[in-house]
Structures are given as structure tokens and as C-alpha cells.
Structure 1
Amino acid sequence: MSALVPLTGEPLALDLVNTRPANGDLLATPGDLCAWWALQAGRLPDAAPEQVTAADLAAVQAVREHTARALARARRGEQPAAADLAGINQAQSAAPAISELAWDGSAVTATRRRDGSPGRRLAAWLAEDAAGLLADPAVTKIRECEAHDCVLLFLPAHPRRRWCSAARCGNRVRVARHYQRHRAG
């Protein structure tokens, strides 16, 4: 994975889109995907496998591209392209979710799971999260980081939030402003 560590903690679909910072692709290889998956481990039903295939990576990258384009339009209140919505729907149907029933000794339990290769399952979980975010009225509140060299998206918990990360972009902008003030004086 790139030296740039991916941001995590936004809705999963935004974390996925944010793997495309201005300076590269954080999901360029199957190994990158495994590392990102491990970072998201607590948020996904499947544990990150040790290896994924190039086809698995392509499935996740396709969901990322469809999600990025659909979010770009939906956050402005515009209709996403039908092809992007269809791509997200197709990714979900490539590894359909079922509620698998089992007896645990005292009650029936239901566990949501998906069939298919690890990457197809991941792509389906991510597409499901993207579908939920796109259908949420909060989609119009998604913002792009205000740092001039950053393209990352975030869903602000506070209306005054301006940067994807206070520690990453916020500090950099504040330091640059401080330097400009003292240099001018």
C-alpha cells in the first residue's frame, strides 16, 4: 500500500471512494486491497483474507468507481447515471446476501452472509453500503475536503468541519497560514 495511510471512519462507501486520493490509488494491487480490508475489519462481516485475486480487486474497484460517480451527482441533488446505479446493483447481486439460520443449542440464530469469492463478497458488502448512503437524505451533506490539494470526501458530524482530517489536511492548512502571516510580517 502507498505510504499514504487511508482515512477510515467515514461511512464505508466514503472510505472506499477515499482510496483514490489526488496522488494515486491506494487499491492498486490485490495486496493493497487486503491491507485496506484489514483496516476495515471491524466494519465488515468477513475477515480479510491473506490473498485476493486480480478479479476480486477489479470487482471492488468497479464498485468504487460507480460509487464515486453516483455520489458526485447525488450529493448535489442530481440524478446519478443509470449505469452507475446498475453497476452498484449488479455488484450486490453477484454475491447475494442470505440470512443463514442455525440452532445454537437454545435458539435459532440468523447470520447474514454472502457466497462467492472473497473479493466478490467484499464488493457486494461495499455496494450495499453505497446503496444505503445514496438513498440516505444525508448524502447531500457529504463534503469534499477544503485543502487545495485534497479530493477526499467526508460526512461532517459538525457543520463547521472543513477538512477530511484535522490531523492531516487541517494541520497542514493551519501551518501554511501561520507561515504566510509570519513571512509577510
Structure 2
Amino acid sequence: MERWPALELASTIRHDGDGGVTDDLATVQGTTRWIRAQSDLPAGHAPAGDIAADEELRTEIVALRRAVRALFARAVSPAPPSPADARRLMPADQALAHLNAVAAREPVAPQMDWPLDGAPVTRLLSAEDDPKVRFLAALARAAVEFLSGPQRTRLRACTAPRCVRYFVQSHGRQEWCKPSCGNRARAARHYRRQRTAADGGPAPGGPS
């Protein structure tokens, strides 16, 4: 299953399994754990395995996440955004400016390698020494690539009760980010039908 760093960043706000929402970036320690799990950033991006977060880096990643989630909300519109932050979204123009500014913090140049017995490949050569800056900029560039790529049109906010995740549709009729959310949504629909019937009203979708 393909993973996208921008989607991984947005998903650090998630349903906690008990009816609430948890934030994987709420602490410096949690942020460090998350950073070190991002070893699959695209080729040429900064390696994350040795980076330890401090409060400044945590705050900057959270700000970048806020911008990405605002742009995700724009991408899924006119469908509703994730309920986790629907009432406090960063304005889309501000989110776009912030994303571009963070992506520009690392000066990079494309370099081509072409081995005698293989195909040419491209890597990015960085002029930035600070690995934290490289990581932030790489994460922002990954979001730029995601939002300007074909997967943007398949981005959806999960409609299951209590879920706050965004996901990329794997087929055109997919409504939920994972099977457990589908099970929960179907159970909620069944409960509503049963309650409506018990109250003497028409079942949803039935005759009035």
C-alpha cells in the first residue's frame, strides 16, 4: 500500500479508539518518534532516522501540519473536511503561502546519475547543513508534490462516526479510510434505522 508523507503528517491527528481525538505531535517525545518513522520520504529527501525533535521543531511541524490540513480541506471541497479542525482551519491562501515558504527553506539542485549499466536517476543535492531544516523542507516539498499530483482528486475525509482521517480512495466508491470505519458506519446506520422504526417514523430512504 502506497504511503504519502503529507498524508502521514495529516494523520498525526487521529481517532483514539475511545471516542476522542489524539495528537501524535503533542509532545517532543511523540514528535521524535513520528519523525523517525518517516524513513520512506521520497529519494533525495532528508533522512529522518537520527533527528531528535526539540520544542522549536515540534512547533514548526505542527504549523506545517495545520497548513497541510487546511489545503486538504480545500482539496475535498465541496465535501466537508475532517471534523477535527473544521471550525478552525487556516485560511487557504495563508496555508499555501506557509507551505511554499517552508519548502523554500532548503536550497536544492537536481543532480543526475547515469551508471554505465543502468538508467539515469535524479537526486537532490542540498546546500543546507541543518538536518532539521532539511527534514521540514522535505516534508513541505512532499506535500507540494502530493497536492499537485493525481492523488489530490482522490483525497477524501473519512465519513465514519468519530473518524477524523483523510485518505486516498483506492476505488471510486470508497467512503471510509479503513474496514473498521466501514463497520462502524454501517452499524451506526443500522442503529438509526432501528431507532426510527421504533419511533414510528419512516426508515431513512423509505416512503414517507
1:122 aligns to what? 135
Distance (Å, rounded) in 2 between the aligned partners of 1:109 and 1:159 = 33
Q: Is there any run of 5+ residues in structure 2 with no aligned partner, and where?
A: 16-20, 79-90, 198-208
2:162 aligns to what? 149
Determine if the alignment matches structure 1 residue 83 to structure 2 residue 84: no
Distance (Å, rounded) in 2 between the aligned partners of 1:74 and 1:170 = 22
Determine if the alignment matches structure 1 residue 170 to structure 2 residue 170: no
Q: For each residue in 1:111-152, what CA deviation from the matched residue of structure 2 results, as whole angstroms up to 9, or x when unmatched?
A: 424424333222211111111222235423211112110110
TM-score, normalised by the number of residues in structure 1? 0.74
Preserved contact between residue 160 and residue 181 of structure 2 (Cα < 8 Å):
yes
Distance (Å, rounded) in 1 between the aligned partners of 2:121 and 2:146 = 28
1:31 aligns to what? 29
Paired residues in the alignment total 174
Distance (Å, rounded) in 1 between the aligned partners of 2:178 and 2:104 = 34
Q: For each residue in 1:21-47, what CA deviation from the matched residue of structure 2 results, as whole angstroms up to 9, or x when unmatched?
A: 251211112222221223221235413
Preserved contact between residue 111 and residue 125 of structure 2 (Cα < 8 Å):
yes
Structure 1 vs Structure 2 CA RMSD: 3.5
Distance (Å, rounded) in 1 between the aligned partners of 2:54 and 2:154 = 35
Q: For each residue in 1:34-93, what CA deviation from the matched residue of structure 2 results, as whole angstroms up to 9, or x when unmatched?
A: 21223221235413225122111222111111111122113327xx72221110111011
1:112 aligns to what? 124
Distance change (3 Å), C-alpha of 1:39 and 1:179: farther
Distance (Å, rounded) in 2 between the aligned partners of 1:42 and 1:164 = 21
By percentage of residues, which structure has more helix?
A: 1
TM-score, normalised by the number of residues in structure 2? 0.67
2:40 aligns to what? 42
2:87 aligns to what? none
2:9 aligns to what? 16
Stretch moving more, 129-138 or 156-165:
129-138
Distance change (3 Å), C-alpha of 1:91 and 1:54: same
Preserved contact between residue 100 and residue 113 of structure 1 (Cα < 8 Å):
yes
Distance change (3 Å), C-alpha of 1:17 and 1:113: farther
1:56 aligns to what? 57
Secondary structure of the structure 1 residue equivalent to 2:40: helix
Q: Is there any run of 5+ residues in structure 1 with no aligned partner, and where?
A: 1-7
Higher gyration radius (CA):
2
